[in-house]
């Protein structure tokens, strides 16, 4: 699955999840999935706790969140250097 295919799995819709990025139809937010990973949950544990998710949905959340982390890192590196 390409990066673009992964990003196509994420939607921002004001009528769903209060406009936060989420998997369409699943209403599982990118932030929730990334938070689960940060807390140390494995992919298997996330899939077990949210059976509507597929492994590609977890990768899509990371693909969506990745550029934000890069921009934030660049901002802080420039601002506090």
Residue 29's CB is within 10 A of a number of other CB atoms, namely 18
| Mean pLDDT confidence for 11-31 | 85
Q: What is the pLDDT of residue 20?
A: 86
CA distance 38 to 68: 15
* CA pseudo-torsion sign 53, 61, 14, 49: positive
> CB–CB of 7/21 below 8 Å?
no
Q: Does residue 14 carry a pLDDT above 90?
A: no
30 lies in which domain range? 3-79
Percent of the chain with pLDDT over 90: 53
Looking at the 3D structure of the chain, how many domains does it have?
1
The whole-model pTM stands at: 0.77
**How many angstroms separate the CA atoms of 55 and 61, rounded?**
10
We report the CATH number of the domain holding residue 54 as: 1.10.10.10
Segment 57-78, tens digit of pLDDT: 999 999 999 766 554 444 444 4
Question: What does the pLDDT average to over 44-58?
Answer: 94
């Amino acid at each position: 699955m390409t990066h673009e295919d992964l990003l196509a799995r994420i939607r921002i819709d004001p009528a769903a999840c209060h406009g936060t990025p989420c998997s369409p139809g699943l209403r599982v937010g990118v932030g929730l999935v990334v938070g689960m990973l940060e807390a140390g949950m494995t992919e298997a544990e996330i899939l077990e706790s949210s059976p509507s998710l597929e492994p590609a949905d977890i990768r899509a959340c990371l693909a969506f969140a990745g550029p934000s982390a890069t921009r934030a890192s660049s901002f802080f590196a420039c601002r506090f250097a």
